[in-house]
Amino acid sequence: MCQLLGMNCNVPTDICFSFEGFSTRGGKTDDHRDGWGIAFFEGKGCRFFLDAKPSVFSPVAEFVRHYPIHSTHVIAHIRKATQGKVTLENCHPFRRELWGRYWVFAHNGDLPGFDPKDFSFYQPVGNTDSEKAFCLILERFREYFPQKKPPLEKLYSVLKEVSEKLAQKGIFNYLLSDGEHFFAHCSTKLSYIVRQAPFAAAHLIDQDVTVDFSELTSPSDRVAVIATTPLTDNEVWTQILPGELLVFQDGLPHKFP
Amino acid sequence: MCQLLGMNCNVPTDICFSFEGFSTRGGKTDDHRDGWGIAFFEGKGCRFFLDAKPSVFSPVAEFVRHYPIHSTHVIAHIRKATQGKVTLENCHPFRRELWGRYWVFAHNGDLPGFDPKDFSFYQPVGNTDSEKAFCLILERFREYFPQKKPPLEKLYSVLKEVSEKLAQKGIFNYLLSDGEHFFAHCSTKLSYIVRQAPFAAAHLIDQDVTVDFSELTSPSDRVAVIATTPLTDNEVWTQILPGELLVFQDGLPHKFP
C-alpha cells in the first residue's frame, strides 16, 4: 500500500511543511520506501519530481522539502509496492494529456486481479494496477467526451461511475487533477483539513515541527490538505466517507448528487 | 530561438559536465533566458526538471548541475521565446505517451505560420509551435502504426517524411527519444561528438572547467553528446548536415537511406 498527499488552494501556496511530515513516512516513521513522487501545477503547466529511492534518503526529496514551489494543485505519493517492481516508471503520480490539459493521478490501495489489456488510447508504461486504473479513467473520459472537457457535473458523474466499478475490485483511494479541478476519491481511508482565517499553529505528527500559519498567510487564503492519514496532531481532520468522491476548488470540497 | 543538448550512451552516464556549460548559456554566456528543462530516461521511466526561470538563476537547475543522475538518454533545452509566452507549460522538453512508452521532444527553431488546429489524439497544452510540431509527429506515428512501435527502419522513414514537411515551414532542429531510440534532426544547426576510449580531458567553452574523462570511464563506455553548438573547445565536434536525421544507439549515430 502507499500514502497520498494532496493540496488545493485559492492562491499558490508551498507544501514544504506538509511534505516534510509526509516524506518522513517514506522510510523513517513508516515503511513506504519504494519510491515517491510529487506533481505541482503552475497554471496549465506541471512540474514533476520522482524517485525510486525512499523519500527520506532521496536527494530530490531533500530538494523539494526545502525549495518552496508555489502551486494551487499538488499531488504527492510515497510508495510501498504491492504490484509492480521498484522502478522509476512505477512511481506515482502518473501523468497523461487529455483535452489539451495534463492529468495527474496517484493511488493508494490495491486492485488484485485487475489487469485489463485492451487499452485503445492510453497505455501503461509501467506495470502497476494504479497506472492501469488511471489509463482506464482517461479512456472513459475520452469515450464520453471525445472533443473537449465537459462541464464539471458531467465529468464528475462519469468519474463517479468508473470509480465505483474500480473500487469493487479492491482498495481505490486516489487523487486526480488537471490543474483546474482536484478530485479525491475515498474507498477506505482519506482525510482532509481546510485551513483558513483565523489561521493558527500546526504541529506535525511525524516530526517535531510547528508552523504558525497566521504569520505566513493573508486573511483571504484558503488551503485544503488531503492525506491518507492526518499529518498534524493539534488540528481536526475530516475523514472522507468510503465511496465518496469530492472535488476541491479554491480550497473547498464539493460533491454532486 | 533556443538551444538543444542531448546525450545517448551505452551505459548510464551523468550529464553534469555538459549541463554545466550548457546551462550557462541560459542567461550568462548567452541570452536563452526564457526557461529550461531536462528529461532523463531511466529504463522506461522518465524524470523531468522544468523551470520558467533562466537556467543560470534557477535553483532547480542548480540542483541538476550538482546531482549526478545516470541515464542513457537525456534531452535538455534552454529557451529564448519566439512563440508562446514565458511560462512553465511552454518549457521544453515536452512529453507524451505512445505505445506504452514516454516520448520526449525538444525543438530549436521557429515555424512561422505553422498553426494546425485539427489534432485528433494529442493536443498541445501550451501555445508554442514546438509542442504543436511534437503533437503532429506523434499523430503521424499513431496513424501509421496504431497498435505498437514498428521496427526502427519503418519508424525512421515516417519520421523523416514528417520532419522534411515541417522543416519546410521554418527552422526545425530537434531531439526526440522514447528511451530506446534517440533521434536528432538538423534543419540548420546541430553538432555531436562521440567520446570513447582512449578518453581524454575536455574543456568547456562557456566556463573554465575541465574534466578528464579517462579518470571517470571504463574502456568500453561510449557517450554521444549532441548540442546546437559545441560545448568544448579542445575536441572535434561533427556538424550534422541540414536535412539529416540521425538515430543514436549506444552512443553511435546511424541513418537509413
pLDDT, average across residues A239-255: 97
DSSP state of A19: H
Chain A: give the shortest CA distance to residue B101, in Å: 5
CB atoms closer than 10 angstroms to residue A35? 26
pLDDT, average across residues B226-242: 96
Over the stretch A17-74, which tens digit does the pLDDT of each residue have? Answer: 888 888 888 878 887 888 999 999 999 999 999 999 988 899 999 999 889 999 999 9
Over the stretch B69-117, which tens digit does the pLDDT of each residue have? Answer: 999 999 999 988 777 788 999 999 999 999 999 999 999 999 998 999 8
Nearest to B105 by CA among B181, B20, B15, B35: B181
Q: Do A97 and B125 touch (CB under 8 A)?
A: yes
Percentage of chain B with pLDDT > 70? 100
Chain A: give the shortest CA distance to residue B88, in Å: 5
Report the distance separating Cα B18 and Cα B14, nearest Å: 9
Chosen from B51, B70, B88 to mutate, greatest number of chain A CBs within 10 A: B88
Chain A: give the shortest CA distance to residue B131, in Å: 11
pLDDT, average across residues A170-191: 98
CB B227 within 8 A of CB B4: yes
CB A19 within 8 A of CB A5: yes
pLDDT computed for residue A118 by the predictor: 86
Over the stretch B108-146, which tens digit does the pLDDT of each residue have? Answer: 999 998 999 889 899 999 999 999 999 999 999 999 999
Give the DSSP H or E segment for B237: none
Q: What burial letters (b/e) apply to A170-187, b meaning 16+ CB within 10 Å? A: bbbbbbbbbbebbbbbbb
DSSP state of A33: -
3-state secondary structure of A106: strand
Q: A16-24 and A59-66 helices cross at what angle (nearest 10)?
A: 150
Residue B88 is nearest to which of A43, A51, A101, comparing CB atoms? Answer: A43
Per CB-CB distance under 8 Å, the chain B contacts of A90 are: 45
A87–B contact, CB cutoff 8 A: yes
Catalytic member of A2, A9, A91, A186:
A2
* Degrees to nearest 5, angle at CA B104 with A85 and B140: 115
Over the stretch A77-90, which tens digit does the pLDDT of each residue have? Answer: 998 877 778 899 99
Domains of chain B: 3-108+172-254 (3.60.20.10)
Exposure of A182 in the CB half-sphere (CA atoms within 13 A): 27
Q: What burial letters (b/e) apply to A213-222, b meaning 16+ CB within 10 Å? A: beeebeeebb
ipTM associated with this complex: 0.94
User: What confidence tier does B30 reach under pLDDT thresholds 50, 70, 90?
Assistant: confident
Q: H helices within chain B, ranges in order? A: 16-24, 59-66, 129-144, 152-167
pLDDT, average across residues B182-202: 96
Residue B2 appears among annotated catalytic residues: yes
Residue B43 is nearest to which of A63, A89, A101, comparing CB atoms? Answer: A89
One-letter identity of residue A249: Q
Q: Which residue has the cell 489524439?
A: B121
